[in-house]
Amino acid sequence: MKRKIILGRYMEGDSWVHRLDPRAKTAAMPLFMVAVFLVDGYMGVLALLLFTAVVIRTTRIPYRYYIRAMKPLMFLLLFILVFHILYDAGGGKLLDVGAFKVYAGGLEKGIVSASRMGLFIMLAAVLTFTTQPEQLAQGLGSLLRPLTCIGVPTDRLVLMLGIALRFIPTIFEEAERLWKAQQSRGLDLSSRPLREKARLIIALLVPVTTGAFRRAIGLADSMEARGYRLGARRSRFRAFVWKRADTLFVAAFLLPVAAAALL
């Protein structure tokens, strides 16, 4: 937990949320997404923020770790906010300085849209912090199993999810390592123009992507060497048992959906 990039990592704990069935936590995610898309305006977003804060509190993981999980994506949130401020002309005019104009509607939509993305990130952090990647993949596989009747390759989807969850922190670590290597060679972005900063950051994505592909190929070779085959029947080390707490957890996420639909 001392590493800088922690989004996508599992954190040991014994909270109520840690002990929940992975299927319950996975099912709660789309419900929360529906609620986030239904809310509109400051009050709705504030209510969801309070709800998310309560869920985070029950995980017994300090809030600062969730804030750290959001830091790598703060640029995206800022971009969403600025985009709406600059290009949405709804509502009354709040600021007019030459070609720069800020409207009340654009500011509100920017804050709401950025808050929505932040809520997604925080709940995704709740899911990954409290659920081991293999359990999360197995839980999703159990939920998607009925789709096999119509030919959906759920085993492939689950495998892709499991690998992606494990690669998220790896890719962030690779990007951080390359960034520090560039800084050790004297790279300083503080004095560079914005266009050059963007060009250098985009150039950094090339070795990061190459490294990710290299790791993926190595993982595929390792799995083949161990005899892994898609579609083969597999047993589970631990069977999932749906309990009353799981039902209550999913029901709790139905409340904001119902409230957002009615208001």
Sign of the CA dihedral running 112, 9, 163, 199: positive
Give the percent of the chain with pLDDT over 90: 22
What pLDDT band is residue 249 in, cutting at 50, 70 and 90? very high
Q: Which residue has the higher pLDDT, 135 or 98?
A: 135
Burial of residue 80 (number of CB atoms within 10 Å: 0-12, 13-18, 19+): buried
- Out of 109-123, 231-245, 249-263, least confident range: 231-245
Tell me what pLDDT residue 246 has.
93
Q: Domain of 199?
A: 136-232
Q: What is the pTM of this model?
A: 0.72
Do 77 and 10 sit in the same domain of this protein?
Answer: yes
**Average pLDDT score over residue span 12-36:** 91
Do 211 and 250 sit in the same domain of this protein?
Answer: no
Tell me what pLDDT residue 2 has.
41
Which positions ≥6 away from 25 have C-beta within 8 Å? 17, 126, 127, 130, 131, 136, 139, 249
Q: Which residue has the higher pLDDT, 49 or 72?
A: 49
Do 11 and 110 sit in the same domain of this protein?
Answer: yes
Q: Is 89 helix (H, G, I), strand (E, B) or coil?
A: coil
Does residue 108 carry a pLDDT above 80? Answer: yes
Do 25 and 126 sit in the same domain of this protein?
Answer: yes
Whole-number Cα distances in Å, 45 to 35, 61, 71: 10, 23, 20
As beta bridge partners, residue 97 has 100
Do 173 and 197 sit in the same domain of this protein?
Answer: yes
